[in-house]
C-alpha cells in the first residue's frame, strides 16, 4: 500500500463520518463504502482524516478495519460518481455528510437509501450539474433535517421518493428549480414533519404526482397556482394527508388518467374542485373515501371516461348534485356510497348500461331514497349488499333487467323501508341470495309475488334465500323452489289465517269416523264423510283444493275369507263444487258407485291444496265399510242396524265428485283448449292474486281460448253452472 501527501485543497474532498459498531454487514470495527457496480470509479480514501490518503485507485466498494470500534471521519477524492447504500447493509453506520467537496455526482438515486442516522452537516452544496436522478435519495433518512436550500437541482428529472419516509425532514426547499422534473411520485410520502411552502415551484413538466404527499400528516400548504397540465397520474396523491385543506380549483387536470385514492383519508380536505375537468380520468376508485370533511360541489365534472367509481364517496358527508354526470364508460359502482349517511341526490338518469358490479353501491347510505327505475342494469353480475342498511330506500325496481346477476346476497338486508315487488326479476343466473331480505320489512304480499315469479324460472340449484317475511299464496312457488330446486329458504313460515290458501297440517289429518254404509236404493254405493276440526280451512274461488281417496277390497263376506291379490284403487283429484264465497270447508262427502255386494272395503283419504300440487295432509286413519247383500237387480237390501241420525244423506256436507274437466296444453303459450263432460255456461280466468282477467261465455263442451295478450305466470280457470263451479290451475309460459 502506498501513501501520498495530498496537495489539493482539503475543501475539495467528499467527507463523511461513520460509526463502526452500528449494525451493518461489516464487522463492528469496520465500514464499507458502497458503490454502484455499473459505474466507473477511480478514487482514493483517507481513512483517518489526516489529509494523507491511505488507499489509492479504488474501483469499487472499499472496506477498512479500524481495529477499534468507534466513530471515524473519512475523506474521498478522485472519480467517485455515486454513493449507493441501497443494498449495502451499511446504512446504519454512516452518521453524516460533513462536506460535499468538488466531486461531480452522476446520480443520487438510492444514494442514502434507509440511512436512518444520516445528517447533512455540510455547509457547501453538492455539484449536481450532471445529475438527473434523485429517486429515493433520502428514503427513510429519519434524522435528516438540515438545510438543502442552496442545492442546484435544475437538471434533475426524477425526484420519485426523494424524501419518502424522511420523517424528521422539514426544511425550506421553496427555491429549488424543479422545472426539469417529470416524476414527483412519492416525493414526500410519509414525510411526517414536512410542511414547507412549495407554491413557487415550476412543476409544469411533471407527469407523475402519484403518492406525492401520501401520509404526510402535517402538510398544508397552498398549491393552487401549480401548473399541472402535463400530469397524468395523481393516484394516492393526498392519501392520508390528514391536515391538508387547500383549494385546488385552478388546476388543469385534463390529462390525468388516474385519481384513485387521491384524497383517501384526507380527513380535513374540503377544498374547491368545482372547475376541474377530469375528462381523461378512467379510475376514481376511493378518490374521496374516508375524506370525512369533503362536501364540495363537483357536479359539472366530465367523468365520461371513468370506468371505476368503486368506494368513491365511502364514509364521506358528500351530498352534492351529480345527477348530470355521464357514466357511459362506468363498469363498477361497487360500494360507491358505502356508509355515506348524507347522500340523497337524484341519480336516476345515470347511464349505467355498462356497469357489471353494483355490490354495496348504496350500502349504509341511510338517507338515500331516489328513483332508480330507469337504470339499465342488464350487464350487472354482482348486486350483493347493494342496499344493505339503506334505511329509507323504498323505490320501485320491478322493471330492472337482472338477467346477468349472479349474486344478490344481503341485497336488502336491514333495508328497513324497502317493500317492493321484485317477483318479475330474472334470477336464473343467481347462485346466492343468502341474507337477501334478512331483518328487512318486505311485506308478506310482496314475498308471495317473489315466490310466484321466481318459481316459474329455470333457477340455479341449491340457492340460499333469507327473508324476514311470511308467505301465503306463494306457498306453491316456495314449494317448487325448495322441493324441485333444492333451495334453502329461511323465512317466517306460513302466515297465520291467510284465508286464501290451504293451510293443511300434519297435526290435523282427515277423520273418516263419520262415514257410513250404503242406504236403501243406492245399492252399489258407499258414502265417505270426513271433517277436519281445527283449523277450519277456507278457500277462495281462485284457488282450488282436491282430495285423493284410496280403497281396497280386502274380504269376501260370503266366504268369510281374505281376498287374494288385493288391488288398491286411487281416486285422484276429487274436488268440491261450490259457487261464490269460500270454495269449501269441512265436512266433506264423497259417494262412490260400482261397489260389490257382500264385500269389506278399507278406505283412506288425504287432501291437497291446489288440485293436488300443493301441501297435503297425512293419509287419514283407515275406515272399514262392509257392503250389504243387496239384489243387483232391484237394489233392495235390509240395513244391518241403526244409522246415525242426520248423516244418512250428508245434507250438512259439501259434495265431492270425480274431476271431469281437462285443459290442454298445460303449461300453455298462445292458446288453451278446454274439454269437459258437461256444458258450462261461463268460464272465468283469475291471475295468481285472485283478480279476474277474462270472462268467456261457452256454447259447447270443447272450446279454445286465446292467451296472446296475457303475461306469463300462474292462472286459475273457473267454470260455472247452476250446479256449481270447478277450478283448475294452469301456467302460461313465454
437 compared with 528, residue with greater pLDDT: 437
Per-residue pLDDT at 673 exceeds 70: yes
Closest CA to 253 of 190, 216, 292, 306: 306
According to DSSP, the β-strands at 94-99 and 119-120 are parallel
The answer to whether the CB of 39 falls within 8 A of the CB of 6 is no
pLDDT range class, residue 689, cuts 50, 70, 90: low
- The CA–CA distances, whole Å, from 659 to 521, 579, 617, 725 equal 25, 16, 20, 11
Question: Tens of pLDDT along 215-245?
Answer: 999 999 999 999 999 999 999 999 999 999 9
Span 424-436, average pLDDT = 96
Per-residue pLDDT at 642 exceeds 70: no
pTM of the predicted model over 0.75 = no
Span 384-402, average pLDDT = 97
- Report DSSP state, residue 656: E
- The CA–CA distances, whole Å, from 478 to 448, 468, 485, 687 equal 9, 14, 10, 17
pLDDT score of 21: 97
Question: Tens of pLDDT along 176-223?
Answer: 999 999 999 999 999 999 999 999 999 999 999 999 999 999 999 999
Q: HEC string of 614-637?
A: CCECCCCCCEEEECCCCCCCCCCC
Per-residue pLDDT at 542 exceeds 50: no
pLDDT score of 582: 38
Map grid coordinates 375524506 to a residue: 291
3-state class of 437 per DSSP? strand
Per-residue pLDDT at 476 exceeds 70: yes
3-state class of 290 per DSSP? coil
- The CA–CA distances, whole Å, from 529 to 364, 592, 598 equal 59, 11, 21
Helix H or strand E segment including 454: helix 444-455
Backbone angle region of 499, left / alpha / beta, with phi > 0 → left and psi within -120 to 50 → alpha: left
The fraction of the chain above a pLDDT of 90, given in percent, is 64
Q: How far apart are CA 719 and CA 695, in angstroms?
A: 10
Mean pLDDT score across all residues of the chain:
85
The answer to whether the CB of 72 falls within 8 A of the CB of 16 is no
pLDDT range class, residue 288, cuts 50, 70, 90: very high
Closest CA to 574 of 598, 549, 599: 549
| Helix, strand, coil percent values for the chain (each to nearest 5) | 5, 25, 70
Burial label, 25 (beta-carbon count in 10 A; 0-12, 13-18, 19+) = middle
* Preceding amide of 667 cis, omega within 30: yes
Span 145-173, average pLDDT = 98
pLDDT score of 608: 61
**Phi, psi angles (nearest 5°) of residue 471:** -115, 155
Per-residue pLDDT at 48 exceeds 80: yes
Span 165-183, average pLDDT = 98
472 compared with 62, residue with greater pLDDT: 62
Strand partners, 94: 18
412 compared with 494, residue with greater pLDDT: 412
| Domain 526-657: CATH architecture, name and number where available | Sandwich (2.60)
pLDDT score of 723: 56
Q: What does R_g of the chain's alpha carbons equal in angstroms?
A: 44
Q: HEC string of 672-731?
A: EEEEECCCCCEEEEEECCCCEEEEEECCCCEEEEECCCCCCEEEEEEEEECCEEEEEEEE
pLDDT score of 598: 78
Per-residue pLDDT at 360 exceeds 50: yes
Instruction: Convert 33-50 to b/e letters by CB count within 10 Å (16 or more is b).
Output: bbbbeeeebebbbbbebe
pLDDT score of 40: 97
Q: How far apart are CA 162 and CA 133, in angstroms?
A: 9
Angle (nearest 5°) at CA 683 between 682 and 688: 145
Positive or negative torsion for Cα 660, 665, 666, 672: negative
Question: Tens of pLDDT along 397-429?
Answer: 999 999 999 999 999 999 999 999 999 999 999
The answer to whether the CB of 447 falls within 8 A of the CB of 470 is yes
CATH topology of 526-657 equal to that of 661-732?
yes
Closest CA to 234 of 218, 216, 252: 252
Backbone angle region of 304, left / alpha / beta, with phi > 0 → left and psi within -120 to 50 → alpha: alpha
Span 451-477, average pLDDT = 91
What lies within 8 Å, CB to CB, of 555 at 6+ separation is 561, 562, 563, 599, 600
Domain ranges of the chain: 359-496, 526-657, 661-732
Q: How far apart are CA 27 and CA 7, in angstroms?
A: 33
Question: Tens of pLDDT along 246-267?
Answer: 999 999 999 999 999 999 999 9
Backbone angle region of 542, left / alpha / beta, with phi > 0 → left and psi within -120 to 50 → alpha: alpha
Q: How far apart are CA 474 and CA 89, in angstroms?
A: 73
Per-residue pLDDT at 47 exceeds 60: yes
Question: Tens of pLDDT along 364-384?
Answer: 999 999 999 999 999 999 999
- Report DSSP state, residue 611: G
Max CA separation in the chain (angstroms): 151
Per-residue pLDDT at 533 exceeds 50: no
Extract the C-alpha cell encoding 344: 340523497
Q: Which CATH superfamily is domain 661-732 in?
A: Macroglobulin (MG2) domain (2.60.40.1930)
Per-residue pLDDT at 440 exceeds 60: yes
Q: HEC string of 559-579?
A: CCEECCCCCEEEEEEEEECCC
Amino acid at each position: 500500500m502506498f501513501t501520498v501527501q495530498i496537495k489539493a485543497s482539503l475543501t475539495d474532498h467528499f467527507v463523511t463520518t461513520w460509526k463502526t459498531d452500528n449494525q451493518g454487514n461489516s464487522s463492528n470495527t469496520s465500514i464499507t463504502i458502497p458503490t454502484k457496480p455499473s459505474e466507473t470509479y477511480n478514487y482514493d480514501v483517507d481513512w483517518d482524516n489526516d489529509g494523507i490518503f491511505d488507499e489509492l485507485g479504488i474501483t469499487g466498494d472499499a472496506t477498512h478495519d479500524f481495529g477499534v470500534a468507534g466513530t471515524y471521519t473519512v475523506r474521498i477524492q478522485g472519480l467517485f460518481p455515486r454513493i449507493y447504500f441501497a443494498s449495502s447493509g451499511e446504512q446504519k453506520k454512516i452518521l453524516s455528510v460533513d462536506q460535499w467537496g468538488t466531486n461531480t455526482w452522476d446520480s443520487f438515486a438510492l444514494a442514502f437509501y434507509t440511512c436512518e442516522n444520516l445528517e447533512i452537516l455540510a455547509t457547501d452544496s453538492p455539484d449536481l450539474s450532471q445529475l438527473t436522478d434523485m429517486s429515493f435519495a433520502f428514503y427513510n433518512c429519519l434524522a435528516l433535517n438540515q438545510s438543502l436550500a442552496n442545492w442546484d437541482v435544475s437538471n434533475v428529472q426524477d425526484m420519485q421518493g426523494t424524501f419518502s419516509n424522511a420523517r424528521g425532514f422539514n426544511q425550506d426547499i421553496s427555491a429549488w428549480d424543479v422545472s426539469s422534473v417529470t416524476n414527483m411520485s412519492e416525493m414526500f410520502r410519509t414525510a411526517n414533519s414536512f410542511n414547507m411552502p412549495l407554491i413557487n415551484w415550476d412543476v409544469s413538466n411533471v407527469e407523475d404526482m402519484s403518492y406525492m404527499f401520501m401520509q404526510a400528516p402535517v402538510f398544508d400548504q397552498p398549491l393552487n397556482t401549480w401548473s399541472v397540465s402535463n400530469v397524468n397520474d395523481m393516484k394516492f396523491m393526498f392519501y392520508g394527508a390528514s391536515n391538508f385543506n387547500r383549494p385546488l380549483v385552478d388546476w388543469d387536470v385534463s390529462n390525468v388518467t388516474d385519481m384513485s385514492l387521491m384524497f383517501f383519508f384526507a380527513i380535513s380536505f374540503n377544498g374547491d374542485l368545482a372547475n376541474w375537468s377530469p375528462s381523461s380520468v378512467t379510475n376514481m376508485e376511493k378518490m374521496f373515501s374516508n375524506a370525512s370533511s369533503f362536501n364540495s360541489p363537483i357536479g359539472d365534472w366530465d367523468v365520461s371516461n371513468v370506468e371505476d367509481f368503486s368506494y368513491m364517496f365511502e364514509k364521506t358527508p358528500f351530498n352534492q348534485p351529480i345527477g348530470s354526470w355521464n357514466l357511459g364508460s362506468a363498469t363498477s359502482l361497487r360500494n360507491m356510497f358505502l356508509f355515506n349517511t348524507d347522500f340523497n341526490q337524484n341519480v336516476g338518469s345515470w347511464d349505467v348500461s355498462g356497469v357489471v358490479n353494483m355490490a354495496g353501491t348504496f350500502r349504509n347510505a341511510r338517507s338515500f331514497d331516489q328513483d332508480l327505475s330507469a337504470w339499465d342494469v342488464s350487464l350487472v353480475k354482482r348486486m350483493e349488499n347493494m342496499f344493505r342498511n339503506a334505511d329509507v330506500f323504498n323505490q320501485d325496481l320491478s322493471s330492472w333487467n337482472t338477467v346477468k346477476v349472479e349474486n344478490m346476497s344481503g341485497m336488502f338486508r336491514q333495508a328497513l323501508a324497502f317493500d317492493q315487488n321484485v317477483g318479475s326479476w330474472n334470477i336464473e343466473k343467481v347462485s346466492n341470495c343468502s341474507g337477501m331480505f334478512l331483518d328487512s320489512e318486505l311485506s308478506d304480499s310482496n314475498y308471495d309475488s317473489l315466490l310466484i315469479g321466481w318459481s316459474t324460472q329455470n333457477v340455479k340449484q341449491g340457492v340460499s334465500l333469507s327473508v324476514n317475511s311470511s308467505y301465503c299464496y306463494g306457498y306453491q312457488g316456495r314449494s317448487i323452489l325448495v322441493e324441485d330446486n333444492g333451495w334453502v329458504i329461511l323465512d317466517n313460515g306460513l302466515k297465520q289465517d291467510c284465508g286464501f290458501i290451504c293451510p293443511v297440517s300434519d297435526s290435523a289429518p282427515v277423520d273418516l269416523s263419520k262415514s257410513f254404509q250404503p242406504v236403501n236404493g243406492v245399492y252399489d254405493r258407499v258414502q265417505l264423510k270426513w271433517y277436519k276440526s281445527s283449523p277450519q280451512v277456507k278457500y277462495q274461488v281462485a284457488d282450488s283444493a282436491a282430495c285423493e281417496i284410496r280403497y281396497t277390497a280386502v274380504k269376501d263376506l260370503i266366504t268369510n275369507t281374505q281376498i287374494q291379490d288385493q288391488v288398491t284403487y286411487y281416486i285422484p283429484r276429487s274436488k268440491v263444487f261450490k259457487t261464490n264465497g269460500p270454495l269449501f270447508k269441512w265436512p266433506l262427502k264423497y259417494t262412490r258407485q260400482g261397489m260389490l255386494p257382500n264385500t269389506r272395503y278399507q278406505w283412506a283419504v288425504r287432501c291437497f291444496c291446489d288440485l293436488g300440487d300443493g301441501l297435503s295432509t297425512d293419509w287419514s286413519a283407515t275406515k272399514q265399510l262392509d257392503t250389504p247383500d243387496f239384489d243387483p237387480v232391484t237394489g233392495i237390501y235390509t240395513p244391518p242396524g241403526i244409522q246415525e241420525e242426520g248423516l244418512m244423506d250428508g245434507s250438512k256436507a259439501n259434495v265431492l265428485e270425480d274431476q271431469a274437466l281437462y285443459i290442454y296444453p298445460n303449461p300453455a303459450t298462445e292458446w288453451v283448449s278446454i274439454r269437459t263432460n258437461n256444458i258450462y255456461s261461463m268460464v272465468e280466468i283469475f291471475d295468481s292474486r285472485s283478480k279476474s282477467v277474462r270472462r268467456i261465455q261457452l256454447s259447447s263442451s270443447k272450446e279454445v281460448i286465446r292467451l296472446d295478450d296475457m303475461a306469463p305466470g300462474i292462472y286459475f280457470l273457473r267454470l260455472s253452472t247452476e250446479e256449481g263451479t270447478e277450478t283448475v290451475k294452469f301456467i302460461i309460459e313465454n
